[in-house]
Chain A
Amino acid sequence: MNIIKGSARVLGDEVSTDIHCSSKYLPGKDTAYIATVAFEQVAPGFAKAFKKGDVLVAGKNFGINSSREQAVHIMHQMGVAAIVAPSFGRQFFRNAINNGLAVIECDTGGISAGDVIEIDPSSGRVTVAARNITRAAPPLPAAVQALLKAGGLIPFLQKHPDWNLS
């Protein structure tokens, strides 16, 4: 997979995407609207400052609880290039891969908003050159990379209905 490079936008620990990035508690609001107000309660002005191609850098258990797939659709709308966090909620992690959004697990301490962050999904290396930070995330398994490369599970199956992940 290609190297992902972008400006870091930072969130804290235990951010629920159900609460902060879905219509679960905003009935009737569509994905386009939520993309303009996502994470507002935990990081005022976050969605407004977010630019296409930025990297979302979060704390532990990002996307905890019953995580709706819609959260990833909203993040695509915001232009999230990848997410880096020490850990993800299980369901969110799966939804991200199924919808073609790279999720990288590593320590995010010391990374600040605006830092240029570089991610190599194949090796798992995460670098913030300006701060001399290099972190080693577990490399994404080949099967997961294949899903991400296709743009997610649906485009993958449209091309490979036989599930040939190799």
Chain B
Amino acid sequence: MGHTIAEKILGHHAGGKPAKAGEIVVADVDFAMIHDARAGNALKMIEKLGAKSLPHVKRTALVLDHYSPPPNMEAANTHVAMREFAEKHGSPIYDVGDGICHQVLPEGGHLTCGDLVVGTDTHSTTYGAFNAFGTGVEGTDVSAVMMTGKLWFRVPDTIHIDLQGALQPGVWAKDVTLHMLSQLGAEGANYQALEYVGSGVSAMAIDDRMTLSNHAAELGAKAALLEADEKNLAWLKAHHAATPKPVKADADAIYTRRIVIDTAKLPPQVARQHHIDDVVGVPEVSGQKIQVALIGTCTNGRLDDIRQAAAILKGRKLAKGVRMIVTPASRAIYLAAMREGLFDILTSAGASVEAAGCGTCVNITGHYIAGDKQVVISSANRNFKGRLGNPSSEIWIGSAATVAASALTGFVTDARTVAGGDWRAAA
């Protein structure tokens, strides 16, 4: 009987042999992350644990991204405590403006294929794009990792997802996940890992693959794993990651479910207000008016997202009455976008560009608070009622292409219908 990628990675870290779905293992963790929204709790748990020493603390990064910049004294003091902790213990730290945890960890070379990585954030599934088992945990878990280097895991079942065919221009990984949310429902993959395979994945650039693994969190997935290929191996090498140990599933691995998606024919998708799994094709709702367009977050704030937005808005203006905010996911992305002249294009079109961080994903910092009855279209990952500070507003979720096309027209718009909406990075 064969094994899935999840069974192999967890097994390799828990004594060597592949583990079996359903089993509880104690596994060696390669890298851990604490971000500022959970650091208050995590630091309390470390204190409660009362360990004499934290031998694995140098493999735990602290990231100041959610409260970026801090909206109040309490958050500012959490930042002070995080800086002091990192200084005292020699942990890597990413300060305000450096970027979002799920972007700076891979960019910083902190993980590679075959690794086991945990972070105090549900979107830690992002690391699956690099063939690493990444999953979200809490402060107690991270304190255990710092002290012992290990953590307990229930080995998940896996859903096999075959993406057949390269996406059309104007259609992105975001649309694939939104489509899956319409099929499985939010939490439809609860407790389970996903394995994405097929020509649809191979054709995707790294930025888009990261979206695919990241956004699996909305499906409730514990991990979202991709195989290693020359694209992610080259990316990891360029970011000075450790030697990759690629892990492939066996041909006779056991999956709870197999899903095939005809990605070559998939149209752009959008989640309507309040429910991330209330998803329709963009052409079905193209009369819907929007007032605000937001690009950013760990789901879609990467360079290709900003490039796509700039391709659509080049030499044009936002529709009358539309406000647009672009927040790069990291300082490296910010610099690259600036050097490519993308901010010139976006700012000339009427958008604002903000410092790297979690930005407009959720109203923690006041980066964006919606007014009554305002309709926001966002490239973020969640659209609960009131997430942008006002239960009387609506948040619709789409790709950066859909957001930029909508900002241009003032209506939810299929990027395939506007000039520049077919932009895609050369492979």
Q: Which residues of A contact B (CB under 8 A)?
A: 16, 19, 25, 27-28, 61, 64-70, 87, 89-91, 93-95, 98-99, 141, 143-144, 147, 152-154, 157-158, 161, 163, 165
Contacts and interface: CB of A to CB of B under 8 A. Distances in A.
Pick from A16, A28, A154 the residue with the most CB of B within 10 Å. Answer: A154
A6 B136 CA distance: 32
A31 to B, nearest CB: 11
B74 A153 contact: no
B45 A90 contact: no
Contact of B49 (A19, A28, A67, A154): A154
Contacts, number: 84
Nearest to A19: B384
B140 interface: yes
Interface of A is mostly: loop
Interface of B is mostly: mixed
B144 interface: yes
A153 B140 contact: yes
B339 interface: no
B50 A158 contact: yes
Interface of B: 24, 26, 38, 41, 45, 48-50, 72, 74, 121-122, 136-141, 143-144, 147-148, 150, 152, 154, 186-187, 190-191, 220, 222, 382, 384, 386
28 contacts: A61-B190, A64-B187, A66-B136, A67-B138, A69-B41, A69-B138, A87-B190, A89-B190, A89-B220, A90-B190, A90-B191, A90-B220, A90-B222, A91-B136, A91-B137, A95-B138, A143-B26, A143-B152, A144-B24, A153-B140, A154-B144, A157-B144, A157-B147, A158-B50, A163-B150, A163-B152, A165-B26, A165-B152
Contacts of B136: 66, 90-91
Contact of A27 (B45, B74, B191): B74
Given A28-B74, A153-B141, 19 more contacts: A16-B384, A19-B384, A27-B74, A61-B187, A67-B138, A91-B136, A91-B137, A91-B138, A94-B138, A143-B24, A152-B140, A153-B152, A154-B140, A154-B144, A157-B147, A158-B49, A163-B26, A163-B152, A165-B152
